[in-house]
Amino acid sequence: MTRPTISQPGIAAYAAAHSETPDPVLAALIAATAERAGGAAMMQIGPDQGAFMQLLVATLRPSFAVEVGTFTGYSSLCIARGLAPGGRLLCCDISEEWTAIAREHWEMAGLADRIDLRIAPALETLRALPPEPAIDFAFIDADKPAYLGYYEEILSRLAPDGIILFDNTLWSGNVLPDSGADDESTVALRELNDFLAADQRVVVAQLTIGDGVTMVRRRPVGVAG
């Protein structure tokens, strides 16, 4: 299984080897995903990205987190472990098959009571949330053409110090204008990247972790872009 990455394979492997290694539950999830998800297993985030997310969330200590696109649950485990005491993670997905693997490993990790999984189109789930700015952390890793819609629903509910992460925003380099790629997902990610870079409501940083991770937070009041 080869996960998409923006770095050269040797550099990606080196980074993974020098990051926090997966514990037994995460290692079991990697194995279960490879065995049961077949070629789709490449959608699982890499251990280096998981280590980054776990460290970031543990620093933020969110009370309410949202994940759009759960797959087999690797990123949700990394998020749930960093929640504040009594914190909750809302997971949005449409696949009973893949999230069944996630549920098994949430139980194995003792985190199932912190996670609320909604099997429904994510926009419906997000739009049903209260309008108050209560989301402390969000991770968006689902269908690329819908990223901008997810972003707007989450941003309107984002806490003042909240963080949004987007996955796959470098798309193996295909987002570059001269890549020649013009499929729907690539075009959607290019448009998202351009939109975020120009959005004066937020501060944005695009990172070369995994297949590209973009981090966004609200721009402090009175601070010009």
Homologous superfamily of the 9-218 domain (CATH) = Vaccinia Virus protein VP39 (3.40.50.150)
For the chain, residues with pLDDT lower than 50 are none
* Residue count (the chain): 225
The residues spanned by each domain of the chain are 9-218
Would you state the pLDDT for residue 225? 67
CA distance linking residue 127 with residue 139, whole number of Å = 16
Question: Which of 128, 119, 23, 111 lies closest to 68, judged by CA?
Answer: 119
The two three-digit tokens of residue 79, written as one number: 């998020």
